[in-house]
Structure 1
Amino acid sequence: MVMSKKHHPKPRRTQVLAARAFASIEHFLHIEAVSGVLLLISATIALIWANSQWADSYANIWHTSLSISLGRFEFSKSLHFWINDILMTFFFLVVGMEIRSELHEGALSKIKQAILPVIAAFGGVIIPAIIFLAFNFAPIQQNGWAVPTATDIAFAVGILALLGRSIPGEIRVFLLSLAIIDDIIAVLIIALFYSEGLNYLGFLTAGIGILLVLGFQRIGIGSAWSYLIPGSFVWFGILMSGAHPTLAGVILGLMTPVRSKPMSEHPLDLLLRITGELTGRDIKSEQGHSQRRLLQKLQVAKRELLPPVVRVEQALHPWIAYIVMPLFALANAGINLSSSTYSASELYIITGIVVALVCGKPIGIVGISWACIKLKWCHLPDGITWKGLWLVGLLAGIGFTMSMFIAMLAFKDMRFLNAAKLGVLLGSVTAALLGVIWGIIYLKQMTRINRKVH
């Protein structure tokens, strides 16, 4: 017996309100603007805390030891290590997944589309590095040459989102593509220039973990939780090898499948068929075995509509954006300024980073793009003007998270590290402010042009 639609119970008002609330929360969690603002708030709290009467508590809390023990095995590290080396691995996991997605079907999947962002990204790395080295001659200072070469994706895209929807979507896509290539270069820099003496036993351990991941994928294990054990092998192996353990996140991200598990029936067709079957069923059989089986199939079909790389990235995004990165900012942005008297060497580090981020990034990105377009190697994408490209260049100067991360690898001397952190903060904030000002001018000009056209 087929029941008419009018006999189906209507959802209660509380259920409707709850559904709307959850939808709003989900939408909120995926707005980059909020993520960028939260990063700024975390950095501000860290600065205020580190320069308050509770400054000692700020310094001490990150040295608190956290341990995991299992039988005779014990893993004990400081809270600072847990944030910078373990939680940030998940950040780099998402970076790896973003790179994998872009290479598969994004802006980097087609050579013609990828040429300009790749060239611009290299310009945005080379020129800031040269500017930093021009200010710093001593080898110990020059070790920080890579600090101003990075771009903070969340912060940069967040500032762009704050400018509103009037900004052309092509600019956002170009900024994302450039920032992802920037991340690839940053990962290579970390691996090649900021890794300690290599231990081959570590590489063997990481290799075992990688083989386990490939084996799991081969036999069709789809649960992300199942990959924690082989992922841990990769992480510990990279740590043992002398390279930075967060590189394990990039490796695992690049290994995440970009295609859904093969099914006898396309997930969308299966979804439509089961929905049709459920629509024609008697409401009284709702709790039956057959009904539950169909609902399970429906759940599988819904899941397989998206490839694993997209599913895992979407699941991790709110945790990374709203917990991991703010924690990283809180743990690393606190610089005591109250009694700081900087030496000439420290001032050169600060100045080099600020000038490299604020001037070097946009000049490198726009300058090399202009040269390549003049040489007819590539062309400006549709929807992007030169003023729009300058906006991308200014926002790319927001190094923040990645620049802080590289600074901690580059400088072991706390005086130089604090100077580098201050340079990153000043440079990133200045680049963000200039980006907002330029963005407002750009929008006003676009509005005037549109009025003339209409």
Structure 2
Amino acid sequence: MQWKGLFHGFFHSEKSGGFILIACAIGSLIFANSGISESYIGFWNRSFNNHSYTHWINDGLMAIFFLLIGLELEREVYAGELSNFKQALFPVIAALGGVLVPALIYIAFNFGSPAQGGAGIPMATDIAFAIGVLSLLGSRVPVNLKIFITALAVIDDLLAILVIGVFYSAGIDWIYLGIATALFTGMLVMNRLKVYLLLPYLILGVCLWYCMLHSGVHATLAGVLTAFAIPFGDGGSNSISYKLQRFLHIPVAFIIVPLFALANTALYIAPGWMEGLGTDIGLGIITGLVVGKPVGIL
């Protein structure tokens, strides 16, 4: 079927993108710990319109990444592996476990200390790197497993965003959040009215992203919401959802994700960093991620 071939084709075409992702991450770590460390890290921290380059990549360009992943999942929900309710519920339950168990393990290591509030650290899965690693494995990983892991990673990320927004945010701007809700509702109404022009959804999607950015809630959420508001139609080659997916593949794989890898691995590794691994905070994070995440998912 066409939809299955599309999803398989997405991961196949992303294989080279996965190599670039890993190469960018390794190269960025090398530069960040070389003789040009200060200027290299400083570059990503430069401010543009009150935000660093890294912030614009994480909250701006990555919204487009989430738009693409959301469109992929929308296809699976309507006509693929997640079209059955029980199958769709499986990654949701797994994601809940994958968020709660790491947090509980972290709390167990840091219970009663001021560091207990950092329980949100081991919650999230880095979806860009997760999909990058999956793409490198190619056909050795079944397509349905890739779909499950992708859905799991997205839901896991959304749950982490929700937790951060509720417990760690400096403050929610309810006016912007209310406008964002109205915009998303408007897109859903357009969908119900069978508006099959892509431009109105993209315009409202950009406005939604702007409001989310200023609301205090992670702006990448706008990408996922926009994806599920765009009509799936019959899922064929004339579907606006299909056309947008095809258009976004190359820029996401070869521009956006590599930039994300470069910016987010520009990290200086200080001497004696291993000593921090033996602290309660370090053990809580490592055990939560390495042990808690897979145990919670299973």
Provide the TM-score with structure 1 as the length reference: 0.55
Correspondence for 2:244 among 287, 302, 312: 312
Question: CA 1:329/1:113 → structure 2, altered by over 3 Å: closer, same or farther?
Answer: same
Residue type at the aligned position of 2:130: A
Aligned CA-pair RMSD = 3.3
Contact 2:101-2:292 at 8 Å conserved across structures: yes
Alignment match, 2:87: 113
Measured at CA, do residues 340 and 144 of structure 1 come closer, stay the same or move farther in structure 2, by a change above 3 Å? same
Larger C-alpha radius of gyration, 1 or 2?
Answer: 1
Q: CA deviation at 1:228?
A: 4.4
Q: Which residue, 28, 33, 37 being the options, matches 1:51? A: 33
Structure 2: which 5+ residue stretches go unaligned? 1-8
Match of 1:231 in 2: 205
User: Which secondary structure state, in structure 2, belongs to the residue aligned with residue 257 of structure 1?
Assistant: coil
Mapped to 2, the partners of 1:170 and 1:206 lie a distance apart of 33
The 3-state SS of whatever aligns with 2:169 is: coil
Distance 1:197 1:176 in 2: 30
Distance apart, 1:327 and its partner CA: 1.1
Q: Deviations over 1:349-407 (max 9, x none)?
A: 333222222222222223xxxxxxxxxxxxxxxxxxxxxxxxxxxxxxxxxxxxxxxxx
Per-residue deviation at 1:241? 2.2
Aligned: 1:333 with 2:290:
no
Deviation at residue 170 of structure 1 after TM alignment = 4.1
> Contact between 1:201 and 1:241, CA under 8 Å: does it hold in 2?
yes
Once the two structures are aligned, what percentage of the paired residues are identical?
Answer: 40
2:101 counterpart residue number: 127
Q: In the alignment, does 2:15 pair up with 1:40?
A: no
In structure 1, list runs of 5 or more residues that go unmatched: 1-26, 67-74, 261-302, 367-454
Counterpart Cα distance in 1 of 2:62 and 2:183 = 19
Residues 120, 236 of structure 1: alpha-carbon distance in 2 compared, 3 angstrom cutoff: closer
Which residue of the partner structure matches residue 201 of structure 1?
175
- Alpha-carbon distance in 2 for matches of 1:28, 1:250: 18
Deviation at 1:313, TM superposition (A): 2.5
Q: Contact 1:141/1:345 (CA < 8 Å) preserved in 2? A: no
Q: How many residues align?
A: 289
Which among 349, 352, 372 is matched to residue 281 of structure 2?
349
Distance 1:136 1:318, change over 3 A: farther
**Using a 3 Å threshold, how does the CA distance of structure 1 residues 172 and 202 change in structure 2: closer, same or farther?**
closer
- CA distance in 1 between counterparts of 2:203 and 2:83 reads 31
Distance 1:159 1:345 in 2: 25
- Asked if structure 1 preserves the Cα contact closer than 8 Å seen for 2:73 and 2:151, the reply is no
Residues 42-441 of structure 1: matches in 2 within 5 Å? 42-66=24-48, 75=49, 77-137=51-111, 141-163=115-137, 165-207=139-181, 209-210=183-184, 213=187, 218=193, 220=195, 222-224=197-199, 226-259=200-233, 305-340=237-272, 347-366=279-298
Specify whether residues 348 and 33 from structure 1 end up closer, same or farther in structure 2 by C-alpha distance, changes over 3 A only.
farther
Counterpart Cα distance in 1 of 2:20 and 2:227? 25
Q: Equivalent residue of 2:122, what SS?
A: helix
CA change 1:155–1:244 in 2 (3 A) is closer
CA contact (8 A) 2:17 2:132 kept: yes
Whole-Å Cα distance in 2 between the matches of residues 168 and 216 of structure 1? 36
SS in 2 for 1:305: coil
**Cα distance, 1:248–1:153 mapped onto 2, change above 3 Å:** closer
Alpha carbons of structure 1 residues 59 and 172: separation in structure 2 relative to 1, 3 Å = closer
Q: Is the 8 A contact 2:110 2:284 kept in 1?
A: yes
Q: Which amino acid aligns with 1:331?
A: A
- Per-residue deviation, 1:57: 0.8
Residues 223 and 157 of structure 1: CA distance in aligned 2, closer, same or farther (over 3 Å): closer
Label 1:322 to 1:139 Cα distance change in 2 as closer, same or farther (>3 A).
farther
**Higher helix fraction: Structure 1 or Structure 2?**
2
When residues 157 and 140 of structure 1 are mapped into structure 2, their CA distance, relative to the original with a 3 A threshold, is same
Quote how far apart the aligned CAs of 1:314 are: 2.8
Q: Structure 1 segments of 4 or more deviating over 6 A?
A: none
Structure 1 counterpart of 2:4: none
Higher relative contact order (CA 8 A, sep 6+): 2
Aligned AA (1:307): S
TM superposition shift of 1:55 = 0.8
Aligned counterpart, 1:274: none
- The one-letter amino acid paired with 2:170 is E
Moved more, 84-93 or 213-222: 213-222
